[in-house]
Amino acid sequence: MNVLLDHLPEFRAGFVGTVSLTAVSAAIALVLGILIAGFRVSPVPPLRFLGTAWVALLRNTPLTLLFLVSAFIVPEILFPGMSPFVLGSLALGFYTSAFVCEAVRSGINTVPLGQAEAARSIGMTFSQTLRIIVLPQATRTVLPPLSSIFIALTKNSAIAGAFSVTELFGVQKLLSDQGYDIVPIFIWVACAYLIITFSISGTFRLLERRMEVAR
């Protein structure tokens, strides 16, 4: 009980760290994921290949390895002095984008082919067809898997703690090193994670219900 009250600033910093890490990497994953999904269904073979390679590479690489690359190799070779937070967000965002891509692609596949054919037959380009006709209709199908992906992302963000990003799970190590009992620390950390993940699933349930009315 005391652990939380005595170390509220640390818990708060960790909570804010996890929330911002999740939010930033979710934004990166969403933008990249939709873009790569577009590549994967594109009529241009090199783009399709790029999309397939992106998914195969990032989905099959252990997340810890991606963090290692982004924490030690990227700043060494490409961007020296980049903050651990940005590097961590990039690693998480890139990794998650592969899963977002596949969820979006499965959504695209549920939209009847005739919708895209009708769009093309009135002269829309591929990207117009995707943006204006197909993706809006795919959104509803994509929401439930997307919700799961973002909850997984929240929990995956704990790995960033090992690469000097301030986040929730790192609080546990900080405080247990100071000699506090590990059990209550874990309970409070778990509660904080639950607040975030429940907010995500709640938001998505709301979105789903709103999309239902729009039809």
Partner 1 sequence: MPMSGVSVTKGAEDAVPTGGDLVVLSNVNKHFGALHVLQDIDLTIARGEVVVVIGPSGSGKSTLCRTINRLETIDSGAISIDGKALPQEGRELARLRADVGMVFQSFNLFAHKTVLENVMLGQVKVRRADKKAAEQKARTLLDRVGVGSQAEKYPAQLSGGQQQRVAIARALAMDPKVMLFDEPTSALDPEMINEVLEVMQQLARDGMTMVVVTHEMGFARSAANRVVFMADGKIVEEATPDEFFNNPRSDRAKDFLSKILHH
Torsion from C-alpha of 89, 39, 114, 204, nearest 10 degrees: 0
What would the x/- binding string for partner 1 be over residues 34 to 63, using CB under 8 A?
---------x--------------------
The residue to which tokens 């059990």 are assigned? 183
Among 5, 114, 177, 179, indicate the residue that binds partner 1 (CB under 8 A). Answer: 114
Interacting residues of 120 by C-beta distance below 8 A, sequence separation 6+: 126, 129
Nearer Cβ to partner 1 (16/44): 44
Nearer Cβ to partner 1 (61/128): 128
As a whole number of angstroms, the distance between CA 31 and CA 186 comes to 33
Report in angstroms how near the CB of residue 107 gets to partner 1 at its nearest. Answer: 13
What would the x/- binding string for partner 1 be over residues 152 to 191, using CB under 8 A?
----------------------------------------
Of 175, 177, 159, 178, nearest in space to 167 by CA: 159
Is residue 110 a contact residue for partner 1 (CB under 8 A)? no
Is residue 118 a contact residue for partner 1 (CB under 8 A)? yes
Report in angstroms how near the CB of residue 130 gets to partner 1 at its nearest. Answer: 13
Is residue 130 a contact residue for partner 1 (CB under 8 A)? no
Is residue 124 a contact residue for partner 1 (CB under 8 A)? yes
Q: Which of residues 196-215 bind partner 1 (CB under 8 A)?
A: 214-215
As a whole number of angstroms, the distance between CA 33 and CA 147 comes to 14
Distances (CA, A) of 100 to 50, 58, 83: 16, 11, 25
Of 20, 27, 24, 102, nearest in space to 58 by CA: 102
The answer to whether 10 and 156 are in contact (CB under 8 A) is no
Nearer Cβ to partner 1 (16/118): 118
Is residue 106 a contact residue for partner 1 (CB under 8 A)? no
Radius of gyration in angstroms for the set of CA atoms belonging to the chain, rounded to a whole number: 20
Nearer Cβ to partner 1 (83/115): 115
Would you say how long the chain is, in residues? 215
Stretch that binds partner 1, among 31-39, 45-53, 121-129, 190-198 (CB under 8 A): 121-129
The residue to which tokens 């219900």 are assigned? 209
Contacts with partner 1, residue ranges (CB under 8 A): 43, 112, 114-115, 117-126, 128, 132-133, 136-137, 214-215
